[in-house]
């Protein structure tokens, strides 16, 4: 992540202030973890046509506001051949009900989104009923992007050793019984800031890799076939130059998509710097876009969180650079905005709302309806 890693509506948050030269950072903020709910295995829902293979007409995945050219397709791993999916984690760090927050966001930008982003951890069971309803809302078929931190209250090494196998089994049963549609699952997003390189810490880069692999292979052994496993980094060059950074990558066989969570302050000039900021310090880092192309050349790239927290003129100008520069980065196949009115960062609260001013909303609305983001 270039600057900040945030989670929706009261979930955990980890922030690095290094990217912008700001002092300090963020402590994690977490809601209490409720006792794990019982797993109710209900009769399987009807399987949509796009669960196991791309639909004959990829527009079946989308709402009526989309105008996908007839020549565009969607692969079995939900990779659009034209442009990129457009998504959101709406009204994060607020008490607004999730469905209302999503509908409010869509009304503001003048279209329905392709991806809805939510967050889970520990013993939570997901997709929830509300998330399933969001995905299946008539005329607005959406793809779920669900983050899960299986190591909540545990070490990465512990999960790699099997401590969450029982929960993975419960989730597997729930997914197979209630939600056959394809969706993205991120396993512990933004691990960089939590790495402790000392052997035996339980949080080495190798421990993260092994945890990710354990989770994915357990799901697959349980017969879960509709989950697209996604590894998501902060993407900040300050972490990319660390000697252990490459070792975080779990391996081609367990990764379907690669993602990053970059954020822009007033010091971030444009989209190109957001997705591919390089450094020559330390061992050097070519920028996340170039690094991921080398590390995982056959994997689609997702901007799993992004946001702009700056004064209105910069916000509006930054959004215009996204439209102008996006074609330079053809591996980016999903753009998922993280919207919050008060995300904590380095002792201050940041505002990534797209309607923080009329000019900002106008620029983001125009960007959202750009054909590049209507695959």
Q: What local confidence, expressed as pLDDT, does residue 162 receive?
A: 98
Predicted confidence (pLDDT) per residue in 163-196, tens digit: 999 999 999 999 999 999 999 999 999 999 999 9
Mean pLDDT of 282-290: 93
User: Is residue 346 very low, low, confident or very high in pLDDT (cuts 50, 70, 90)?
Assistant: low
CATH number for the domain whose boundaries are 4-29+46-373 = 3.20.20.80
Q: What local confidence, expressed as pLDDT, does residue 343 receive?
A: 78
User: Is residue 206 very low, low, confident or very high in pLDDT (cuts 50, 70, 90)?
Assistant: very high
pLDDT over threshold 80, residue 139: yes
Mean pLDDT of 342-367: 87
DSSP structure string for 208-269 = HHHHHHHHHHHHHHTT--SEEEEEEE---HHHHTSTTGGGG---GGG-SEEEE--EE-TT--
Whole-angstrom distance, CA of residue 188 vs CA of residue 119: 10
CB 374 within 8 A of CB 67: yes
Residue reference for tokens 């950072």 = 25
* Overall pTM > 0.75: yes
Please indicate whether residue 28 or residue 142 has the higher confidence score (pLDDT): 142
Q: Where are the domains of the chain?
A: 4-29+46-373
* Residue % of the chain over a pLDDT of 70: 80
Mean pLDDT of 96-104: 97
Residue reference for tokens 């089994």 = 169
Whole-angstrom distance, CA of residue 107 vs CA of residue 103: 6
DSSP structure string for 162-221 = TTTHHHHHHHHHHHHHH--S-EEEEESS--GGG---STTSS-SHHHHHHHHHHHHHHHHH
pLDDT over threshold 50, residue 44: no
- Cis link prior to 127 (omega < 30° from 0)? yes
Predicted confidence (pLDDT) per residue in 62-82, tens digit: 333 445 556 899 999 999 999
Q: What local confidence, expressed as pLDDT, does residue 124 receive?
A: 98
pLDDT over threshold 60, residue 370: yes
């Amino acid at each position: 992540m270039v600057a900040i890693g945030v989670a929706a509506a009261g979930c955990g948050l980890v922030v690095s202030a290094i990217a912008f030269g700001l002092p300090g950072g963020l402590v994690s903020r977490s809601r209490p973890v409720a006792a794990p709910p019982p797993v109710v295995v209900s009769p399987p829902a009807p399987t949509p046509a796009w669960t196991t293979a791309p639909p004959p007409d990829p527009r079946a995945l989308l709402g009526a506001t989309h105008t996908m050219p007839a020549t565009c397709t969607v692969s079995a791993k939900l990779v659009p051949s034209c442009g990129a999916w457009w998504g959101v984690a709406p009204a994060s760090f607020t008490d607004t009900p999730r469905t209302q927050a999503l509908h409010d966001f869509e009304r503001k930008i003048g279209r329905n989104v392709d991806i809805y982003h939510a967050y889970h951890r520990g013993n939570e069971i997901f997709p929830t009923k509300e998330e399933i309803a969001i995905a299946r809302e008539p005329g607005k078929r959406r793809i779920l992007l669900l983050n899960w931190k299986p190591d909540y209250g545990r070490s990465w090494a512990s999960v790699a050793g099997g401590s969450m196998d029982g929960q993975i089994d419960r989730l597997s049963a729930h997914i197979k019984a209630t939600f056959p549609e394809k969706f993205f699952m991120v396993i512990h997003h933004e691990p960089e800031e939590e790495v402790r390189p000392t052997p035996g810490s339980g949080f080495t880069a190798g421990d993260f890799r092994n945890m990710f692999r354990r989770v994915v292979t357990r799901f697959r052994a349980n017969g879960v076939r509709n989950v697209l496993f996604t590894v998501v980094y902060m993407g900040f060059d300050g972490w990319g130059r660390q000697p252990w950074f490459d070792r975080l990558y779990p391996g081609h066989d367990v990764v379907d998509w690669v993602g990053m969570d970059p954020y822009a302050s007033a010091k971030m000039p444009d989209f190109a710097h957001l997705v591919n900021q390089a450094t020559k310090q330390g061992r050097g880092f070519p920028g996340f876009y170039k690094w991921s192309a080398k590390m995982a050349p056959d994997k689609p790239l997702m901007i799993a969180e992004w946001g702009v927290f700056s004064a209105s003129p910069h916000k509006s100008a930054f959004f215009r650079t996204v439209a102008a520069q996006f074609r330079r980065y053809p591996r980016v196949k999903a753009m998922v905005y993280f919207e919050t009115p008060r995300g904590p960062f380095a002792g201050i609260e940041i505002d990534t709302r797209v309607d923080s001013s009329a000019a900002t909303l106008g620029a983001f609305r125009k960007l959202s309806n750009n054909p590049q983001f209507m695959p």
